[in-house]
Amino acid sequence: MIQAFWFLVKTGAVVALAVLVMNQPGALEITWQDYTLKAQLGFVLLALMAAVLALIFVVRSIDSILYWPRFWMLSRRQRRQEKGLRVLTRGLAAVAAGDGKAAAHAVRRAGKFLPAQAPLRLLLAAQTAQLQGDEQSALRLFEKLSADKDGGFLGLRGQIQIALGRDDISQARMLAQKALTRARHGQWALQSAYDLALRTRRWQEALALLPRLHGKDSAQAIGLRRALLIAQGDDFLAQGYQAQALGFFKAAWRLDQEFVPAALRLAQLYRLIGRPQAARAVVLKCWRRHAHPELATLWHDLMPPHKAAKGSPRLQWMKRLVDLAPAQAEGYLALAREAQAQALWGLARGYYMKAEQLGPDQRLYAALASLEVQSGNSAAAGSWLEKQRDSAPAGVWICAQTGRIYPQWQPVAEPHGAFNSILWGLPEMAQTLRLAASA
């Protein structure tokens, strides 16, 4: 409708212009030798306009005739590309579905429509070769693809996957660095280089890549950075370099003073190098934020010798944990154990009862049962053991990936090598995580 309207408008404009030109007054006279040509001015102008339009039409017709072969070739190429892209789409879908036969058919069909060095055709052929178990052909095709300016990154990615499949970590690292050079801000290249640095325990290299992956101040970045710092400290300590290990443990501790493994490592190393006061300060500072049973055990071990030899000072020493975190059951449990160790049955029972009010678990009722047995009241132990069966279990260190339970936190969860995956939780989480991992 709109196009018809505009056609009428244009036609009307041309007719109006012609009428206007024809009605122009005056005449044009041309004399040449014995001939004289006279014509109305409007008619001459209209004839000139018609001649110009005819010339334009002729020029465009000639140009169309000359351009036709090129237009036909471009149209044919475009149709072939469209067919090739449809074939590639079906082929990549077949690869994703694991249908090697359909993928191989798509590779052959793509050869009819796309150049041999077309990046997507090389990618499809390489992935099809992988699917069919022809690793050598896949590697050769990925190497060809890696030479392409636009698709080279895909070729490097395929080579990295093959190297990892062969457990050739050094080759995979070299290729990852090459990919990182080509795509400095590519997330996959960064992640690959980071994962390989972790796998080869190159903690400093992983630390350098971490801000580009997760920033500096996010919770994930802080958690990974503290784990990397502790891993470096553990390696230096294992080699006997206590000063270097101390620096890394301090850095991890400053990063997150609620993280118990960082506090434990720093305090234990302070104790090892003869700085018990610094160790005690670290334990108490972390205890205020997170009353953890491992901190209570270390605090007991940091008791000064002159207090360890006497009963009342030992109780006062453990009571500092209760004073710093009176709303947490863990301090009362530690204090009750100390009273029980000194055969102060009534005092121990009172502290255990206070712990029961704040947060009972299976450890508490097991300790109460043992208290009754030690104090000569074995008949009462049975009721505590019944409560133990019905109460919540105590917290443990669990791998978030597999549900495996560990006696203590480690930066790397062996034997599967997951990094920074161990967390503190209830044992029932372990079963849930194991089921999720096996699904």
User: Is residue 190 domain-resident?
Assistant: yes
Domain end point (choices 145, 174, 200)? 200
User: Is residue 214 domain-resident?
Assistant: no
Domain end point (choices 84, 101, 136)? 84
Domain holding 144: CATH number?
1.25.40
Supply the range of the domain harboring residue 175.
116-200
Tokens of 31: 């004399």
Report the chain's terminal Cα–Cα distance, integer Å: 61
pLDDT at 192 (0 to 100): 84
User: Is residue 145 domain-resident?
Assistant: yes
User: Is residue 166 domain-resident?
Assistant: yes
Q: Which backbone phi and psi does 272 adopt, to 5 degrees? A: -65, -35
User: Is residue 320 domain-resident?
Assistant: no
pLDDT at 8 (0 to 100): 61
Local structure of residue 167 (DSSP, 8 states) = T
pLDDT at 300 (0 to 100): 94
Does 196 share its domain with 120?
Answer: yes
Enumerate the β-bridge partners of residue 27.
40
Does 28 share its domain with 73?
Answer: yes
pLDDT at 252 (0 to 100): 97
Enumerate the β-bridge partners of residue 177.
none
User: Is residue 16 domain-resident?
Assistant: yes
- All residue ranges of the chain with pLDDT < 50 are none
Does 7 share its domain with 79?
Answer: yes
Q: Answer for the pair 266, 250: CB distance below 8 angstroms, yes or no.
A: yes
pLDDT at 145 (0 to 100): 81
User: Is residue 209 domain-resident?
Assistant: no
* Residue 269: C-alpha distances to residues 17, 70, 223 (Å): 99, 79, 21
Does 127 share its domain with 188?
Answer: yes
Domain end point (choices 200, 217, 251)? 200
pLDDT at 118 (0 to 100): 77
Instruction: List CB contacts of 432: < 8 A, sequence separation 6 or more.
Output: 403
pLDDT at 47 (0 to 100): 67
User: Is residue 205 domain-resident?
Assistant: no
Number of domains in the chain: 3
Q: Is 249 helix (H, G, I), strand (E, B) or coil?
A: helix
